[in-house]
Amino acid sequence: MTDHGFGLAVAQFAPTASRAVNLSAIAEAVETAVARGARVIVFPEYSSYFVDPFDDTLTENAEDLDGPFTAALRSLAAERDVVIVAGLLERADDGRRVRNTVVAVAGDGIRAVYRKLHLYDAFGQRESDWVAPGEIAPPETFEVDGLRFGLMTCYDLRFPEVGRTLADAHVDVVLVPAEWVRGPLKEHHWRTLLQARAIENTVFLAGADHPPPLGVGHSMIVDPQGVVLAAVGTTTDVAVAHIDPDAIARVRRVNPALELRRYRVTPR
């Protein structure tokens, strides 16, 4: 950790139907993020492979957790001594659908895995036609320089229970790879929900989105009071915030909301 805080990055880019092109874009963004002092770098949902609209090529391009995509991430992470968090199109058990998975990869392998719980069957979309939902399980977390990180994906942001479950797992930072589809007021929803999840759980939060024309862009890093520390607009770029881990304790002394709550989260 530097004297200026822990370097956390969000990398905004538009994944394509070419896994090689996607990995090249990821490698370039990693170089930029590292040059700006990042130790953890968050990429969007579906970083390994993406088509719009979805079609049968999803299953053809899905990979195992230990497949070539995560192997490439591991090589990049080892070379630059960082943790890379990115969306992976993972093979599902039924052979018909895929899993919308996020992996956190370091030089020594996969640190954490998250499979999207709430599928995007909203705003005229039907993600569940192509994607199998993740199973409800205790969240996987990972640590870097004394900070604990947790994961969620895109539409999960609209369900505060997911963030609260991560708070119960004592995370300091929530990472949100996304493909936040454009539409009326959708930029407003994205910003508001990122800030709300940070405020109500008194954690740092980093969301990485696809840029327009499909995503809204506006990838950002938010502090435990909901203040945006660093952000990207609508371009392909990297934003880095040097976060102060002590800020969490300071905020929680003033606003001990997690201690004062009277409800717990239980699965349906």
pTM score, two decimals? Answer: 0.96
Q: Which residues are registered as beta bridge partners of 230?
A: 221
On whether residue 267 sits in a domain, the answer given is no
Q: In the predicted model, what is the mean pLDDT of the chain?
A: 96
* Phi-psi sector, 217: left (phi>0), alpha (psi -120 to 50), beta: left
* The amino acid at 55: D
Q: How far is CA 266 from CA 162, 168, 227, in A?
A: 11, 12, 29
Which of the residues 90, 116, 127, 179 is marked catalytic? 116
Active site annotation includes 179? no
- In angstroms, rounded to a whole number, what is the distance separating the alpha carbons of residues 201 and 211? 27
* Residue 262 included in any domain: no
What is the model's pLDDT at position 94? 80
In a domain, 1, yes or no: no
Q: How far apart are CA 243 and CA 30, in angstroms?
A: 18
Domain that holds residue 115: 6-257
Instruction: Kindly state whether residue 164 falls inside one of the protein's structural domains.
Output: yes
> What is the tally of structural domains in the chain?
1
Q: State residue 4's pLDDT score.
A: 67
Task: Tell me what pLDDT residue 265 has.
Answer: 94
Residue 3 pLDDT: 53
Q: Which residues of the chain have pLDDT under 70?
A: 1-4
Q: Is 154 labeled as catalytic in the residue annotation?
A: yes
> Is 235 part of a structural domain of the chain?
yes
Spatial strand order of the sheet with 173-177 comes to 142-144, 147-151, 173-177, 204-208, 220-222, 228-231
Q: Copy the structure tokens of residue 236.
A: 């392909």
pLDDT of 119: 96
Question: Exactly one of 45, 63, 187, 200 is catalytic; which is it?
Answer: 45
DSSP readout, 73-115? HHHHHHHHT-EEEEEEEEEPTTSSSEEEEEEEEETTEEEEEEE
Both tokens of residue 165? 């479950």
Q: pLDDT tens digits, residue range 237-260?
A: 999 999 999 999 999 999 999 999
| Residue 224 forms part of a structural domain | yes
Asked whether residue 79 is domain-assigned, the answer is yes
Q: Is 31 a catalytic residue?
A: no
Q: State the CATH number of the domain containing residue 114.
A: 3.60.110.10
- Is 265 inside a domain boundary? no
Alpha helices in 138-185 (DSSP H): 160-168
* Catalytic annotation, pick one of 63, 90, 127, 154: 154
